[in-house]
Structure 1
């Protein structure tokens, strides 16, 4: 049922963005933002040399290389919007970037345009951190009103929420006043797009790049006097109205600046480079295999029960490519049985057909648990062995949640792994140190120089 809430979302966001200041941010938010930059940039470096990331950079170069914003991880530069698109696509290319509320990827559509714009404008790290926090809070503010039905209807929330988040973040970087920020938000309201139907293809990561570029463009236009209709984000034929389905609840949106979603919800850093809905199943399977000393030949069958949200996202029972395999519960669980580590190499195209993994995959049954609500990550894995034993594990949440975060050492190890995977001319230790203390850097260009 449609809400008649009197909330003024574009006005509230504009006032919040125009008022936010680094010195007012709680220390825990600054630290969360810095970790988000570390993780997002790391996976961007890895994604820049393969798949959708490499294609996006190659396509950007074909349109004319050279500009004030660098590609992340590889040589070259481009205009600020084009660099934001290329780096945003690369950051999501491996599906290894962070998640929030278990539904969308909040950092990549914000980090990519913030880095590009802050480098071009020679801004300090604290401005980038502040812009990131504003972009993250914006996305969660929209999610309050639109989820879960928005995602259930088939929208890729990374693209839709990310576009508005990028616009607000870039408005903060450009130091737009409240009126101009509102114009940026309402211009961006005409740009969100991205369909879950394209999961398992290069178009999914392109959604993140498109969101990064679109939000950035809206802010740059607004800075030059571009106009947009007030209320384009709202409940009268605006984004909240058109993207919500039948369950719109703007009255649940946070009071910006008084409640911090980055503190209450936090960021979920991925342990495995695949859809987050697979992670509880992968982790539970790994524990069952290790705790019971099971070899692949010992496994008679595996039964995985998860939510409808998982089933909606995981389209491929028998994947033909690495991208499809990232959205396959049977493949990822079989990999957890066979391999010591479900890492990036598990999703290389040439490894998807591994006979040992395929033999186990054929014994994996993935089912929807009818007792679960749509979006929970609660997953049950039951392994039956050839000896007639039955082993079961229930995994409520994936690893890497705010309640059980990756340590700084684990995050640094992931960053180094991504850089080494890419085999590019980046010193991982130097790049990590600068990103890890982003709020203290005098210039974001000093950070991008290391990339």
Structure 2
């Protein structure tokens, strides 16, 4: 990492990013960036719809924001009705990670949950936003998120999704509003005053915030961009000044890597999509356990399930009894014992598997009780999501061992989901929405997103989501 404390000859990164964002065009996007934007739109909106019906906290959140009232600008997905863009971004963003099923980078953390809900809220408020304009803004936001996420020194302290997501999303919203380079930089600077949350949001047990943190970042992003549009100005060096965002939050950052091939290499193209609705680190263990057993349904043959992992996997395995019988759906999605048990029993993990009834299922608990965590520092979380290993000790004395390689699991870099798989995932999630969606509505949504670059007004998409 390159430490930059005081900029003299170089412009602040906010200025550099502002110019890049303002100058980006749909025609400048590589094919893989357009593909990632469309895949993420389908994927994120499916998760939001599913979460609208599965997140117990959301009716109260919707009730609160409706009580606030205000100009009806932007749609509440899954619930219907419109609220001011800031409020709609908060509601829809609060559902984006509600199932722990949204997209993520190979390095970990979730680009689209903060960017996409904010953009759609701003698009409806502005009106007349074309599909090409929306895709461009989303691709730019995803790119900035990835560049910031990958090139800072991270100590598992700050919660990177809402922290860097607030900045990336504010820049994307500023792009959609048609702001100039200086105003985009101002939006980024304004967002710096609101970028927040620590990894305790993930590590901590119980509560609702682990599922809804994206809403706070989306709300802040919309507010930042709208303030910049109205002429509110940020300080001149919000990212790299002596007491600015990067030195205070991270201490070290690789400036050269952040700006390398800016405008031609879109890092959002590396985004990955989940096959299972749980923390990404659980996936390697789910996949390896199923592979070793040759499929589900033979749990009575297993005496012990040893899962080998590092610092982050330990958080998903302990306290032991708590992770075996998680009290909330968020805790269950963040549990290696629980998700591995589900997989060995069902052959998969589904969005409906985290209900109170399923968490209390004695058979699930019986298998989860066989899971034992083995601490191995070589599997600590480094530059990318960590690998691990699984050893199954069978009743007949045999031992089955396999490496849990994160980049080879379904949905990972070497085994990515295709459009057809994402459509199936979208259909499943939409079936759990707060209001029933007819099959014809779901098919029309998929068609609209598939043809997104041809849409004359993004409202053609958002009005189908209410």
Q: Same fold (TM over 0.5)?
A: yes
Q: Secondary structure at the match of 2:456?
A: coil
Q: Secondary structure at the match of 1:301?
A: strand
User: Residue in 1 aligned with 2:422?
Assistant: 411
User: Residue in 2 aligned with 1:3?
Assistant: 3
Per-residue deviation, 1:348: 1.2
Per-residue deviation, 1:315: 5.6
User: Residue in 1 aligned with 2:411?
Assistant: 400
Equivalent residues of 1:52, 1:90 under 8 A apart:
no
Q: Does 1:367 align with 2:383?
A: no
User: Residue in 2 aligned with 1:448?
Assistant: 462
Equivalences for residues 65-76 of structure 1 within 5 A: 67-76=72-81
Equivalences for residues 313-332 of structure 1 within 5 A: 317=320, 318=322, 319-332=326-339
Per-residue deviation, 1:108: 1.1
Q: Does 1:300 align with 2:303?
A: yes
Q: Does 1 or 2 have the higher relative contact order (CA < 8 Å, sep 6+)?
A: 2
- Give distance in 1, aligned partners of 2:114 and 2:228: 19
Q: Secondary structure at the match of 2:282?
A: helix
- Give distance in 1, aligned partners of 2:187 and 2:110: 22
Large movers: runs of 4+ above 4 Å: 312-316
Once the two structures are superposed, residues 267-299 of structure 1 have per-residue CA deviations (whole angstroms, 9 ceiling, x without a partner) of 1111111111111101111222225x7612111
Per-residue deviation, 1:54: 3.5
- Give distance in 2, aligned partners of 1:32 and 1:445: 21
Q: Does 1:83 align with 2:97?
A: no
- Give distance in 1, aligned partners of 2:255 and 2:449: 35
Question: What is the root-mean-square deviation of aligned Cα atoms in Å?
Answer: 1.9
Q: After alignment, is 161-170 or 401-410 more displaced?
A: 401-410
Equivalent residues of 1:54, 1:90 under 8 A apart:
no
Q: 1:358 and 1:65, CA in 2 relative to 1: closer, same or farther beyond 3 A?
A: farther
User: Residue in 2 aligned with 1:420?
Assistant: 431
TM-score scaled by length of structure 2: 0.91
Q: 1:73 and 1:297, CA in 2 relative to 1: closer, same or farther beyond 3 A?
A: same
- Give distance in 1, aligned partners of 2:353 and 2:399: 27
Any stretches of 5+ residues in structure 2 without a counterpart? none
Per-residue deviation, 1:343: 0.7
Q: After alignment, is 228-237 or 308-317 more displaced?
A: 308-317
Given candidates 97, 102, 120, the residue that maps to 1:97 is 102
TM-score scaled by length of structure 1: 0.93
Equivalent residues of 2:304, 2:393 under 8 A apart:
yes
Q: Does 1:309 align with 2:320?
A: no
Q: 1:189 and 1:267, CA in 2 relative to 1: closer, same or farther beyond 3 A?
A: same
What is the number of equivalent residue pairs in this alignment? 444
User: Residue in 2 aligned with 1:195?
Assistant: 198
Per-residue deviation, 1:360: 1.4
Equivalences for residues 30-429 of structure 1 within 5 A: 30-49=34-53, 50-64=55-69, 67-122=72-127, 123-149=129-155, 152-153=156-157, 155-199=158-202, 200=205, 201-245=207-251, 247-255=252-260, 256-263=262-269, 266-290=270-294, 295-312=298-315, 317=320, 318=322, 319-375=326-382, 376-397=385-406, 398-422=409-433, 424-426=435-437, 427-429=441-443
Q: 1:315 and 1:114, CA in 2 relative to 1: closer, same or farther beyond 3 A?
A: farther
Equivalent residues of 2:151, 2:257 under 8 A apart:
yes
Q: Secondary structure at the match of 2:415?
A: coil
Any stretches of 5+ residues in structure 1 without a counterpart? none
Q: 1:136 and 1:314, CA in 2 relative to 1: closer, same or farther beyond 3 A?
A: farther
